[in-house]
Chains A and B, each alone.
Chain A
Amino acid sequence: MSAQNVRDAVIIGGNRIPFARAHSAYATAGNQDMLTSTLNGLVARFGLQGQQLGTVAAGAVMKHSKNFNLTRESVLGTPLDPKTPAFDVQMACATGMEAIGSLANKIKLGQIDSAIGGGVDSISDAPIVVTDELRGILMEANRAKTLSQRLKALSKIRPGHLAPQAPGVNEPRTGLSMGEHMAITAHAWGITRAEQDELALASHKNLAAAYDRGFFDDLVTPFKGLSRDNNMRADSTLEKLGKLSPAFGRDLGEDATMTAANSTALTDGASAVLLGSEEWADAHDLPKLANFIDYEEGAVDFVDGAEGLLMAPAYAAARMLKRNNLSFEDFEYLEIHEAFASTVLAQIKAWESEEFCKNKLGLDASLGTIDRSRLNVNGSSLAAGHPFAATGGRIVASLAKELHGKPGKLGFISVCAAGGQGITAIIEGR
């Protein structure tokens, strides 16, 4: 498939813990606990005890400063050979995809033979910090050489400085939350409430069906009493979803379409994917689900609204498909991360739009049509939840499994991220 003169990077398998709504089952588990447990599950599933892997890369979007070496510390907590190196990655919600994609490249180049890529996030154990003012004063006191200098610095502390600061959920340069940004994009693309609710419902139904037929049996390991994602509502209906009031874009009045149900819930969780060269997989008698073909990062100029915050994958996909001489009709399955139902729908509309593809993507025609029956066939983030950095690993492992036994069939991945960024990827069944 790949035109590059490099060896294949094989997706061997994955593991994740069930995703839990924030402040529920994993309220007392930190990022390191969840990542270590997820790695342990992967090690156990593929018999990696005592093995020295090429590299482990993972990350968290919401990370305590004490977890400066989160992935390495997690690796040290597993039965992997402690000589296995590790590094942290952070690219907002595309963290997991970036970790996996960069590891696949190392394998393709022959730098390493095996790797684990993944991610973890906890909203329930998010880092709470002191105010900038208090930190400034404490640092000044720390630098003071005499007691009187120190007291002088500390005397500047005011009650208002003491309020704890939760991590911001807003884009730093616009002050708008991701949902508010998405509401603007959704409105610009004319995406309806009904379309979004249908997509949300399909996500829950597909995820529930996948659990019921045992699809996740070798992809998910129970954790803290959970064996399924606790955000999943298998019994949801369009009527129920239709009753919810808008949660974002309320200033659009009647045109507000985004609710708590067609937007992803804040979630805790972790995921990991095992990658290797063909030789390494064979030598260890491991399955070869799919090849990681290619991936592309993208970013858009969203600050003054020139493009929607979550539209970067539209641009990344165009470059990636062109490079691989593909259109959307060439894909057996598509996994478009459901940050919001409207994110998926806006990306699809963009790719199907001749005008957008010509004017914004510089193409001659649209990128093809997207067959909805091939989209997010085992559910996506609206149902499973979206622990930011863990989403990439969830998608890659599920899609690789779905493509296993269908050699040559292609899967497409799109993950949007904060800061106007995003990643798209191609994997191929084997």
Chain B
Amino acid sequence: MATRIEMPQLSALYGQAALGAARAKLPGLRSTPATSELPQESLVVRHPGVSLEQAERYRRLFSGEPFDGAHRTALPSVLVHIIGFPVQMALMSREDFPLPLMGLVHLANRVEHLRPITLAQPVQVLVSAENLRAHRRGTQVDIRVMVLEDSADPESLEEHAVLWRGVSTYLSRGIHVVEETAPQAADSTRQEFVPPVKTASWRLSAGTGRSYAAVSGDYNPIHVSNLAAKALGMPAAIVHGMYSAGRMLEGREPEGAGHRWSIDFAAPVALPATVAFAAEHVDAQQLRFTGWNPRKSRLHFSGELRLG
């Protein structure tokens, strides 16, 4: 069942989450989630479409080509993610959501960008949660996002009405609401990272988190404030994972869509930073991306783009 809501305000959701986090620290007022079940219902909102102004701010952030209305009108996948992100947040900040919003870590994102979504094209965003499962450091969950045609009926969804499909995987560290079933294979097969030949170097200023926040509306304190980031166990404000995704994809996504991509996040990028980046052509249809800390030879993220 999909509950229709108005487009949520991210700032209000973060305020509420901060309040929840503060309350959780007070003895006797602990609002530990009473549930280990994910909400069964999904949320759906209408979005009027991305304005030219927002799209242009996005492309300036990544020094991309202009949305000139003739050769570039289709939104990049990460900008579509930005449309749906407040709805993800709304779902995760509900009382019946088993993991606290504050301190969630973005582990991975997988996207199928089925059809182009153009500037000012009204769409609907349908969000649901699934796969609550144990992680060696806590509990992880998949938030499924579908961007639908404006005329689609979310209650009886037809395949052709889906424009964009994404799964964001988040980790709640130190929270164990589900039993670990089997030891995670990833642990035993962890290998030393051998960096590929770099093809670019990203110099990220201390304000990169604020710059992405200004475009996306995601003012999560962990990205915009060193103090808040330190309180959450980071050395400094860290860059949004989707900034890395956006930069990795910029200029490489087909205007006609029909592509799939994914990104897996390893060590967070503490700002300011220099990220070494490699784009490698696996074949004509597939690119592999790697981002790492060149000084410590530490992996920040790995990604993939498949055309068609």
Give residues in A with beta carbon < 8 Å to B. Answer: 160, 170, 172-176, 180, 184, 187-188, 251, 303-306
Within 249-279 of B, Cβ neighbours of A (below 8 Å) are at 251, 276, 278-279
| Given A251-B276, A251-B294; A303-B63 close (CB under 8 Å) | no
Across-interface contacts of A172 in B (CB, < 8 A): 63
Are A175 and B197 in contact, CB atoms less than 8 angstroms apart?
no
Contact of A305 among B199, B201, B203 (CB under 8 A): B199
Are A174 and B199 in contact, CB atoms less than 8 angstroms apart?
yes
Across-interface contacts of B203 in A (CB, < 8 A): 175
Across-interface contacts of B287 in A (CB, < 8 A): 304
In whole angstroms, what is the CA distance A184 to B280 when docked?
Answer: 14
Are A184 and B197 in contact, CB atoms less than 8 angstroms apart?
yes
| Given A160-B207, A175-B203, A251-B294; A184-B279 close (CB under 8 Å) | no
Across-interface contacts of B197 in A (CB, < 8 A): 184, 187-188, 305
Q: Is B1 in the interface zone, CB < 8 Å from A?
A: no
Q: Is B198 in the interface zone, CB < 8 Å from A?
A: yes
Among A170, A251, A303: residue with most chain B CB under 10 A: A251
Across-interface contacts of B200 in A (CB, < 8 A): 173-176, 303
Are A174 and B281 in contact, CB atoms less than 8 angstroms apart?
no
Across-interface contacts of B294 in A (CB, < 8 A): 251
Are A174 and B278 in contact, CB atoms less than 8 angstroms apart?
no
| Given A160-B207, A172-B63, A251-B276; A180-B201 close (CB under 8 Å) | yes
Instruction: Name the residue on B nearest A303 (C-beta).
Output: B199
Across-interface contacts of B207 in A (CB, < 8 A): 160
| Given A251-B276, A304-B281, A305-B279; A176-B198 close (CB under 8 Å) | yes
Give residues in B with beta carbon < 8 Å to A. Answer: 63, 195, 197-203, 207, 251, 276, 278-281, 287, 294
Contact of B201 among A160, A175, A187, A304 (CB under 8 A): A175
| Given A172-B63, A305-B279; A251-B199 close (CB under 8 Å) | no
Among B199, B276, B287: residue with most chain A CB under 10 A: B199
Across-interface contacts of A305 in B (CB, < 8 A): 197, 199, 278-280
| Given A251-B276, A251-B294; A176-B281 close (CB under 8 Å) | no
Across-interface contacts of B276 in A (CB, < 8 A): 251
Are A175 and B202 in contact, CB atoms less than 8 angstroms apart?
yes
| Distance from B13 Cβ to chain A, minimum over Cβ atoms (Å) | 27
Instruction: Name the residue on B nearest A136 (C-beta).
Output: B60
In whole angstroms, what is the CA distance A172 to B201 when docked?
Answer: 10
In whole angstroms, what is the CA distance A384 to B142 when docked?
Answer: 61
Are B63 and A184 in contact, CB atoms less than 8 angstroms apart?
no
| Given A160-B207, A251-B294; A176-B201 close (CB under 8 Å) | yes
Beyond the given A170-B201, A173-B63, A251-B198, please list 16 additional residue pairs across the A-B interface where CB-CB is below 8 A: A172-B63, A173-B200, A175-B200, A175-B201, A176-B198, A184-B197, A187-B197, A188-B197, A251-B195, A251-B294, A303-B199, A303-B251, A304-B199, A305-B197, A305-B199, A305-B278
Across-interface contacts of B201 in A (CB, < 8 A): 170, 174-176, 180
In whole angstroms, what is the CA distance A187 to B280 when docked?
Answer: 17
Among A173, A184, A303, A304: residue with most chain B CB under 10 A: A304
| Distance from B289 Cβ to chain A, minimum over Cβ atoms (Å) | 10
Across-interface contacts of A174 in B (CB, < 8 A): 199-201
The 6 closest A-B pairs by CB, nearest first: A305-B199, A174-B200, A304-B279, A175-B201, A176-B201, A251-B294
Across-interface contacts of A303 in B (CB, < 8 A): 199-200, 251
Across-interface contacts of A180 in B (CB, < 8 A): 201
- Show 25 residue pairs from A and B whose CB-CB distance is below 8 angstroms, ordered by the A residue: A170-B201, A172-B63, A173-B63, A173-B251, A174-B199, A175-B200, A175-B201, A175-B202, A176-B198, A176-B201, A184-B197, A188-B197, A251-B195, A251-B198, A251-B276, A251-B294, A303-B251, A304-B199, A304-B279, A304-B280, A305-B197, A305-B199, A305-B278, A305-B280, A306-B281
Instruction: Name the residue on A nearest B289 (C-beta).
Output: A304
| Distance from A191 Cβ to chain B, minimum over Cβ atoms (Å) | 15
Among B63, B200, B294: residue with most chain A CB under 10 A: B200
Among A170, A174, A188: residue with most chain B CB under 10 A: A174
In whole angstroms, what is the CA distance A173 to B277 when docked?
Answer: 12
In whole angstroms, what is the CA distance A172 to B200 when docked?
Answer: 10
Instruction: Name the residue on B nearest A132 (C-beta).
Output: B60
Across-interface contacts of A304 in B (CB, < 8 A): 199, 279-281, 287
Instruction: Name the residue on A nearest B274 (C-beta).
Output: A175
Instruction: Name the residue on A nearest B275 (C-beta).
Output: A175
In whole angstroms, what is the CA distance A303 to B248 when docked?
Answer: 12
In whole angstroms, what is the CA distance A170 to B198 when docked?
Answer: 15
In whole angstroms, what is the CA distance A128 to B278 when docked?
Answer: 31
In whole angstroms, what is the CA distance A57 to B47 when docked?
Answer: 54
Instruction: Name the residue on A nearest B278 (C-beta).
Output: A305
| Distance from B172 Cβ to chain A, minimum over Cβ atoms (Å) | 34
Instruction: Name the residue on B nearest A251 (C-beta).
Output: B294
Across-interface contacts of A176 in B (CB, < 8 A): 198-201
